[in-house]
């Protein structure tokens, strides 16, 4: 039995979305960030980092949204193409995009905005860091804009976890008022129209994150 812990954020929707792409039956445990729920004894036993999402598959537990997306595709959809097969060049490119998305578009830019704008009570005001983060996001994401000039997909001309991850950072950026190009906007809208995204998003965003 699979359980996905976490809801309400652009990171948690990734895990739910992949489950729906794969048609998996699973149990969602929709705890929110900044609600105190990640500090419960039960949750800390699963993830001492106190972060969502977390996947539990019988006795196997992993955190980190990109790792969860990849584990699900490898384990439950090896022939779906959602995650390119290991030891291939497509897989290397997929890995490249996932690292890029997590580092350059999530942690170093959007999350800096979250920390120093939404959560400034905790992390401090840092207007210069926010400006740099917006500029950094736009510069880095322009690489994806170029890559998508001939295809609606980042890897292998088919929908993969790389598109799933990219779509979540683009919608997160839009929600933060960061301008994205018409091509990236159309790309995000295309993938957000997938039935699996719609179902996952309805579930994921049925709860709210804490302040």
Ligand X SMILES: N[C@@H](CCC(=O)N[C@@H](CS)C(=O)NCC(=O)O)C(=O)O
Please give the residue ranges that form the binding site for ligand X (CB under 6 A): 9, 11, 33-34, 38, 50-53, 64-65
Least distance between ligand X and beta carbon 149 (Å): 28
Residue 179, Cβ density class (10 Å: 0-12 exposed, 13-18 middle, ≥19 buried)? exposed
Q: Which residue in this structure is represented by tokens 């920390």?
A: 115
Strand, coil or helix: what is 63? strand
Strand, coil or helix: what is 143? helix
Q: For 158, phi and psi rounded to 5 degrees? A: -150, 160
Cα Dmax for the chain: 49
Q: Which is nearer to ligand X, 9 or 204 (CB)?
A: 9
Strand, coil or helix: what is 5? strand
Q: Which is nearer to ligand X, 45 or 87 (CB)?
A: 45
Least distance between ligand X and beta carbon 185 (Å): 23
Q: Which is nearer to ligand X, 48 or 79 (CB)?
A: 48
Least distance between ligand X and beta carbon 36 (Å): 7
Least distance between ligand X and beta carbon 210 (Å): 7
Q: For 190, phi and psi rounded to 5 degrees? A: -55, -50
**In terms of DSSP H, where are the helices of 12-88?**
12-21, 41-46, 65-76
Q: Which is nearer to ligand X, 20 or 172 (CB)?
A: 172
Q: Which is nearer to ligand X, 35 or 158 (CB)?
A: 35
Least distance between ligand X and beta carbon 52 (Å): 4
Nearest residue (beta carbon) to ligand X: 33
């Amino acid at each position: 039995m699979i359980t996905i812990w976490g809801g309400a954020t652009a990171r948690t929707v990734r895990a739910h979305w992949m489950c729906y792409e794969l048609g998996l039956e699973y149990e969602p445990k929709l705890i929110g960030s900044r609600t105190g729920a990640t500090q419960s004894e039960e949750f800390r036993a699963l993830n001492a980092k106190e972060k969502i999402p977390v996947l539990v598959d019988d006795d196997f537990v992993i955190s980190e949204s990109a790792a969860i997306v990849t584990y699900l595709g490898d384990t439950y959809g090896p022939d779906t193409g959602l995650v390119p097969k290991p030891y291939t060049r497509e897989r290397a490119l997929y890995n490249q995009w996932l690292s890029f998305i997590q580092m350059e578009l999530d942690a170093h830019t959007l999350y800096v905005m979250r920390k120093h704008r939404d959560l400034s009570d905790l992390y401090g005001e840092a207007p210069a860091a926010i400006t740099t983060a917006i500029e950094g996001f736009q510069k880095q994401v322009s690489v994806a804009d170029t890559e998508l000039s001939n295809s609606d997909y980042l890897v292998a001309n088919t929908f993969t976890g790389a598109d799933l991850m990219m779509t979540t950072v683009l919608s997160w950026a839009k929600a933060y008022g960061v301008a994205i190009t018409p091509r990236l906007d159309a790309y995000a809208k295309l993938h957000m129209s997938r039935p699996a995204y719609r179902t996952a998003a309805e579930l994921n965003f049925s709860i709210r994150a804490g302040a």
